[in-house]
Structure 1
Amino acid sequence: MSLPPEKPVNQWKTLDKDLKRIGRLEEATAFVSRPLVAPGIALAFIIFVGLLSAALMGAQPVSFVVVAAAAIGAYMALNIGANDVANNMGPAVGANALTLGGALIIAAVFETAGALVAGGDVVKTVAKGIIDPAQMATSAQFVWAMMSALLAAALWLNLATWLGAPVSTTHSIVGGVVGAGIVAAGFGAVDWGGLGAIAASWVISPVLGGVIAAAFLALIKAKIVYVDDKIAAARKWVPILIGIMAGAFAAYLALKGLKHLIKITLVQAIVIGVVAGFASWLFSKPMIARQSRGLENRKKSLKTLFSVPLVVSAALLSFAHGANDVANAVGPLAAIVHTVEAGDVADKVTIPLWVMLTGALGISVGLLLFGPKLIRMVGSQITKLNPMRAYCVALSAAITVIVASWLGLPVSSTHIAVGGIFGVGFFREWHAERRAQLLGLKKGKVVPPEERSRRLLVRRSHMLTVAAAWVITVPASAGLAALLYIVLTAVVL
């Protein structure tokens, strides 16, 4: 009688168990460490900039001040990329005209190009004349005031990004300079008239952006969406809208970007815009005619005609933003570098190339590492966007800047873009309720209040968060800068 064959013995059973445990441990470690990758890369960038500045400054005894300022400037640039750039790319992503990855790449390229090509080689008195440097008793006070302002603005932007609130980097740095300047030189050093104009822009710029965006959406609905032959209407009106967009952006870039290269007046910028708009209208007419062939006569078909112009507008907004807002990071840094090297305070300082590169690359790195959170919030969590609505937001941003420049008002691109999104959302609510009431009257029905409340198309919670962040930006950054100045001067001076 033969015995049954013995089961093979697994000589590696214990090793297999150990390897499985190690594998699970590696998976758990990778999962836990993933959130730390972006902060790690950001820290490496800040350290790299600090080491680079130390190498460029040489063996000067006060070079540690520049190293610290360079690191803080890099930190500020990272936060500008994480927070501010979302307003340019959010609508295009929310409208599905761009993927998140594509938006990040386009924004990084055009932000860097705008900063380097048209970022300027001269910066006026830091924070646009809010504080008079001559009021400072010593150049050391000015240096530490600028450093406190820069660090305070960066910390506030970091907190706002973590909370998911898009705030103005310009207002953050202005608040920081005001707070540190008051502690360093007293209330008399502050240009309260300029600060009052900035405060007025808190209300004027988002309201103006919202009204203009809503007006263009109303035009699109009246002239294209709610007509019998939508395709024929689109062939007529979409080239006109593209011409308006091209003209507005040409004037916008002339005012916000090219002004650093050549002196351009508002009238000259408008002339440039008119010429560019007319040329774009002529060019886009046959293009839209080709794109519209074979499209079905329905609203969904119209969205494809707005996708490419929307992507172009987002790229142009990023270029202008890089040209304009890079100064928020490198302006104070350039002032510190000049003061340390020359030993005196100047109203105008030349920005070294390495300082400009710090701002340009910092904005792009911050966008790639931390930008997706606010891009999603701006693009899809305030109100639902499609290419037509997002196009109205981008168009209103350019036009509002031109109008504000004509009125002499300092405005924030953040406030304008977010205001445009809210304007589009509130117009949709008003239009939907109006159509529901008209339909109810025709059918003899009355829409009950509880049904109307369910039709809200703008998230009120985000509106309250954004409004609160806007209101407290200048006071918060000013208070933080004042505290940092007291601490830094107590330790160093």
Structure 2
Amino acid sequence: MMLPYDYTWMFAVTMVIAFADAYGIGANDVANSFATSVASGSLTLAQACIVACFTEFLGAFLLGANTADTIKGGILSVSRFADTPELLMLAMTCAIFGSAVWVLFATYQGWPVSTTHSIVGAVLGVGIAAFGGNSINWGWKGVGQIICSWFLSPIMAGIISAIIYSITKYGILRQKDSVKWALRIIPLYFFFTTAIEAFYLIYKGAPGTSASKMSVGIIVGIAFGIGAVFALFAVFFFCPWLKRRVVDREELKWYHIFVIPFVGYRAPKEIPTETKESISSSSSGKEYPSDIKDAEGGVVQTDETAEDMEPKKISLKDKILNVLLHGIRKDVRNLDNANVKSVHAAAEIYDSDVEYMFSFLQVITACMASFAHGSNDVSNAVGPLSSVFDIWRTAQVDITNKVPVPLWILAYGGVAIDIGLATFGYRIIRVLGNNITLFTPTRGFSAELGAALTVLTCTKLGLPVSTTHCITGATAAIGLCNGKLSAVNWKMLGWCFGSWILTLPVAGTIAGLLFSFAAYAPALVK
């Protein structure tokens, strides 16, 4: 019979594996929130990693679930382990291992997969290994929902994103004076974007808090109030700043937004023609194809041309920095990639000034989506870890399928997620960005908002969706809005869809085999 604090070695091993799983979540899932922002040029990869370090960690630490499902999705009842808590410890350890191996492998291959489905697949594997196939809920409330989400998520997100982008395309981008129309409509975009994201964070992103227990009407009222505040901010501060910076070409800094009514006239900054042209594909004005890259695509020099370069001795400090910053010194925009140039050539290019205006909205959407992700999906790693910790401490199984998540475990998972994005996330950002279709700020904003709306709506309706699947479907739909099939990299989409199907069986097989090896191995009889 198990006693409290037995199997300490298993708890220690689970800690290490859970860190690896959270690391993989950061590298694969967090890229969903920032891939389009980086691809469009609204944020650099380094900026996205810095922002995500705060949004993901704070989301996980402040709004991470106070309770987390021991076995996600209700596909396997924990009551089966009531008399053998040590076997549930082993099952959760093996499940996290199976999930971590698959997510890290998929990330290395550049495949965006659902980390939620990965842990569910791993639980399927250990459940079958422990109790047989009949112990699994194969119906709609279990595996059936997951299979449905492979098709439902991308289609719904694609439709919603296409509608948002089409409104922007025909209401602003194709207008004769698109800049003027943008200045008129942007406050409305601020209102709807922030209201939707506020509703999303309160309703979906704060499980276990008093906010999540509010009625829908109250949440809607709060969200609309937040949206109104941001819309007024756009009217009196942001749009005047944009007009002076973009139309009048005054040399203003970003922080002048908050005091623009009190900022006097600033002499216009002369912008070279070639720089303005580059802004059409990068709102920051930085053109990655002109940078000098290493063999893996990392930017190693941006201020000198190839002709001006002379061999330079790399110091030990530079070598250390190159190792530490390896994950954020990568070209993930693919603007000069020969394999996707034909895809990008099929995309329509609009006024760079209008695209620049939407980069701010896109950053807001990405930050809020990342914050919500940290508050929800961190449980994919810390839920099973919390279960192991609780059993190790009490030697009992909580048959309610809910276990408390200590703050130190939430922080542990949040740190691992941040490190995963900063060191390994570039592989998924590269794929979900311009490798499927060309992204600009208006396209990226539409895709991010469409994906968030899909997750929110389907959650309310009780329909299964995946954040990864949603952003992938939204990306494809935005590409199709160009009116050409060639504007989408269908081969890459095929690889993505194939990885979704492989997630359950591969993660399940790894976890199930490991559990069988450990649970049914020959033992000494005393």
On whether the aligned pair clears a TM of 0.5, the verdict is: yes
Q: 1:299 to 1:169 in 2, by over 3 A?
A: same
For the Cα contact (< 8 Å) 2:85–2:397, is it kept in 1?
Answer: yes
**Equivalent residue for 1:241?**
189
| 1:93-104 aligned within 5 A | 93-104=38-49
What TM-score results when the alignment is normalised by the length of structure 1? Answer: 0.80
Q: Point out the structure with the larger helix share.
A: 1
Name which of 190, 194, 199 aligns with 2:141. 194
Tell me the alpha carbon deviations over residues 343-369 of structure 1, each in whole angstroms, 9 at most, x when there is no partner: 121122111233222211111111111
SS at structure 2 position matched to 1:123? strand
Identical residues among aligned pairs (%): 32
Tell me the alpha carbon deviations over residues 321-344 of structure 1, each in whole angstroms, 9 at most, x when there is no partner: 110110001000100111122112
Q: 1:294 to 1:116 in 2, by over 3 A?
A: closer
**Equivalent residue for 1:52?**
none
**Equivalent residue for 1:23?**
none
| 1:288-367 aligned within 5 A | 288-293=239-244, 295=246, 299-346=351-398, 347-367=401-421
- Structure ID, larger Rg: 1
| 1:37-56 aligned within 5 A | none
**Equivalent residue for 1:121?**
66
Deviation at 1:410, TM superposition (A): 3.0
**Equivalent residue for 1:29?**
none
Deviation at 1:294, TM superposition (A): 6.6
| 1:3-402 aligned within 5 A | 60-136=5-81, 138-192=84-138, 193-195=140-142, 196-262=144-210, 263-264=212-213, 265-286=215-236, 287-293=238-244, 295=246, 299-346=351-398, 347-402=401-456
For the Cα contact (< 8 Å) 1:156–1:476, is it kept in 2?
Answer: yes
Q: Aligned-pair RMSD on alpha carbons?
A: 1.9
Q: 1:267 to 1:170 in 2, by over 3 A?
A: farther
Deviation at 1:267, TM superposition (A): 4.4
Give the whole-Å Cα distance in 2 for the aligned partners of 1:319 and 1:160: 23
Q: Which amino acid aligns with 2:107?
A: T
Asked whether 1:462 is paired with 2:492, we answer: yes
| 1:375-454 aligned within 5 A | 375-428=429-482, 430=483, 433=484
**Equivalent residue for 1:30?**
none
Tell me the alpha carbon deviations over residues 117-144 of structure 1, each in whole angstroms, 9 at most, x when there is no partner: 0002211342132210012352122121
**Equivalent residue for 2:328?**
none
Give the whole-Å Cα distance in 2 for the aligned partners of 1:267 and 1:375: 37
Gaps in structure 1 of 5+ consecutive residues = 1-58, 434-454
SS at structure 2 position matched to 1:349? strand
Q: Which amino acid aligns with 1:131?
A: L
Give the whole-Å Cα distance in 2 for the aligned partners of 1:487 and 1:255: 42
Give the whole-Å Cα distance in 1 for the aligned partners of 2:517 and 2:148: 32
Deviation at 1:469, TM superposition (A): 0.4
Deviation at 1:61, TM superposition (A): 4.0
What TM-score results when the alignment is normalised by the length of structure 2? Answer: 0.75
How many residue pairs were aligned? 411
Deviation at 1:259, TM superposition (A): 2.5
Asked whether 1:483 is paired with 2:433, we answer: no
Gaps in structure 2 of 5+ consecutive residues = 249-349
**Equivalent residue for 2:342?**
none
For the Cα contact (< 8 Å) 1:201–1:411, is it kept in 2?
Answer: yes
Give the whole-Å Cα distance in 1 for the aligned partners of 2:504 and 2:217: 32
SS at structure 1 position matched to 2:76? coil
For the Cα contact (< 8 Å) 2:5–2:395, is it kept in 1?
Answer: no
Q: 1:492 to 1:175 in 2, by over 3 A?
A: farther
Give the whole-Å Cα distance in 1 for the aligned partners of 2:495 and 2:424: 19
SS at structure 1 position matched to 2:75? coil
Pick 1 or 2: higher relative contact order, CA cutoff 8 A, min separation 6: 2
